[in-house]
Structures are given as C-alpha cells and as structure tokens.
Amino acid sequence: MLIQNKIIKSVKAKCIQDEIVSACMMYGSFTKGEGDQYSDVEFYIFIEDDKMDKLNSKHWISEVYPVDLIFYNEYGTEVVIFSNMIRGEFHFLPESKMKVIKSFKHTGVFPDTESMYIYDSTEQLKTLLDDLGGAGPDRMTDENVNFAFNNFVNAWLMGVNVMKRGELARSLEVLTQVQKYILQLIRVKENTVERWLNSTKNLEADLSTESYKDYVSITSKLKENELKTAYKNGLEIVKELNEVLGSLYIVDLDKDLISKLDSYLG
C-alpha cells in the first residue's frame, strides 16, 4: 500500500473521531486515478461554524501522521511536509462555506467524484460533489485561444525587454509565462486541454513528440544567447500555431504583429 493511502485513511479516521469536523473531501491526483508514490495528498475539511475557534490546525494535522513542517503558502493553503517526504495540502473552512465546492467546476474535469468523498455528517457533501461530475469546462473556444495568444504577446514582449535591459534572471522568469501560454495553445491544437490550468502536468505523456521538441526549444539556461534563442523559437512556434488555429478559431493576433515582434527581437 502506498504511504499516501495510509495518510488518507488516517485523515478519514480523524474526521470520524473529531466531533467538530462536519465533512471532508479530497482532491488532486488520487481522485483522478493518477496518484503514485510521488503524489501529494490534498483535502478540504469543514468545521462546525461555532467550533472554528477551537481548531488548532497544526495540532490536528500532526495527529494524522508525523510531520516535519507545517506552514501557510502564499495562497493561504496550509502545506504539510510529512516525515516520509510526502507533501500535503489542507484547507480548513467553516461548514457554512461548504458550497465553495460548486466553484471547483470551472477548474477542470472530475472523473470520479466518489473518490473525493472522505466523510460527511451533514448529508450535503455527496450532492455537492456529484455536481462536479460530467464534462469539464469547454476550453477549446475563441475566448481561450485569444487569451493564450494575447497573453503570450504580453509576456514575450516583457521578457525580451528586460533581456535587452540586461536583466537576464528576470527574463528567464518571464520565459515560464511564455512557455505556459504556448503550451495552452499546443494543448488546444492537440485536444489535451484537460490540463489547461496546469499545462506542464504529465506533459511527457500528453504531447506529441513534435510538440514536446517544440517545448524543449523554448527552455533556457541563464545565458543571454540561450534566452534569445528560446524567445526566437517561441515566436516561430506561435507563428505556426497562428496558422493552424487561425483556420479553426477567430484569432485577434495577426501576421503583421508577429513580424514586428520578430524584427524587434533582432
């Protein structure tokens, strides 16, 4: 048995035992049939409203499984490093906010909502999870294609400008955004948009060999010549994507602007 499954069972047992817990759901790889020995475990735990002030989340998590570190990340998520090097994410919310689950629908596909169910004393959780089932949001739209193209131009120009200024480290950071929008466009072309919001997830398996080589060509070390090549290759890839997707979608980005960007890079 994977260690993660032991942690999941321990979380469920803790929820059943703790009278202040109203419900608990899981999300992430283990609810999508993709969990392995390197996967995180991720939970939403709902607490009775009038008992929230009694919750000591660090103590609660520590009783689930031995931990080395617990902290809040920049998104307000409580992140756990268990003693076996498994990562965990915990969201503790009052029971009255359980309907936040409805907002998850736009984030992707939930193929097995039953696996997300951990514990519920309110008889609300199953209905809310069932609503997440079915087809995910339509990513292959004019709006999304233009979002990716337009944001590519914005990130690309910023990255090139700071590179010309001599801020190579910043240019390398911005390159990750350029890569993100190119990958979104590639995923539209290859109809692998289930991972639209996490475009590098499972990239090695999702992309065709040709597209994966394209991605490799827009990676770089912190060297000016490599950065310039990556930005140049990114523009060439977008030029090709504009040709392909322009025949299927209404695209704002025209060839003249791409040519101006090419000249600007020099």
Nearest CA among 141, 143, 136 for reference residue 194: 136
Q: What is the pLDDT of residues 104-125, one digit of tens each?
A: 999 988 999 999 999 999 999 9
The fold for domain 3-130 equals: Beta Polymerase; domain 2 (3.30.460)
CA distance 71 to 89: 10
> Where exactly are the structural domains of the chain?
3-130, 142-265
Cα angle: 60, vertex 198, 98; to 5 degrees: 40
Q: Give pLDDT tens digits for 21-50.
A: 999 999 999 999 999 999 999 999 999 999
CATH class label, 142-265: mainly alpha
Give yes or no for residue 67 having a pLDDT over 90: yes
Q: What is the pLDDT of residue 256?
A: 94
**In the prediction, which pLDDT does 155 show?**
98
What digits encode the pLDDT tens for the residues 208-246? 999 999 999 999 999 999 999 999 999 999 999 999 999
Q: Across residues 45-58, what is the average pLDDT?
A: 96
Asked if 57 and 92 count as a contact pair (C-beta separation under 8 A), the reply is yes
Contact 212, 204 (CB under 8 A): yes
For the stretch 126-138, pLDDT in tens is 999 999 999 889 9
- The confidence score (pLDDT) of residue 266 equals 87
CB 215 within 8 A of CB 207: yes
Comparing 16-20, 63-67, 101-105, 108-112, the range with the smallest average pLDDT is: 108-112
Q: Please provide the average confidence, as pLDDT, over all residues in the chain.
A: 96
Report DSSP letters for the chain, one per residue. Answer: --HHHHHHHHHHHHHHH-TTEEEEEEESGGGTT---TT--EEEEEEE-GGGGGG--HHHHHHTTS-EEEEEE-TTS-EEEEETTS-EEEEEEEEGGGGGGGGGGGGG---S-GGGGEEEESSS-HHHHHHTT-S------SHHHHHHHHHHHHHHHHHHHHHHHHT-HHHHHHHHHHHHHHHHHHHHHHHT-GGGTTSTTTTHHHHS-HHHHHHHHTT---S-HHHHHHHHHHHHHHHHHHHHHHHTTS-----HHHHHHHHHHH-
Share of the chain above pLDDT 90, in %: 96
Residue 198: what pLDDT? 92
Name residue, tokens 């919310």.
93
pLDDT at 188 over 90: yes
Residues in the chain: 266
- Using 50, 70 and 90 to split pLDDT, how confident is the model at 1? confident
Task: Quote the pLDDT of residue 96.
Answer: 98
The whole-angstrom distance between residue 54's C-alpha and the CA centroid of its chain comes to 32
pTM beyond 0.85: the answer is: yes
Give which of 115, 188, 118, 110 is closest to 146, Cα–Cα.
188
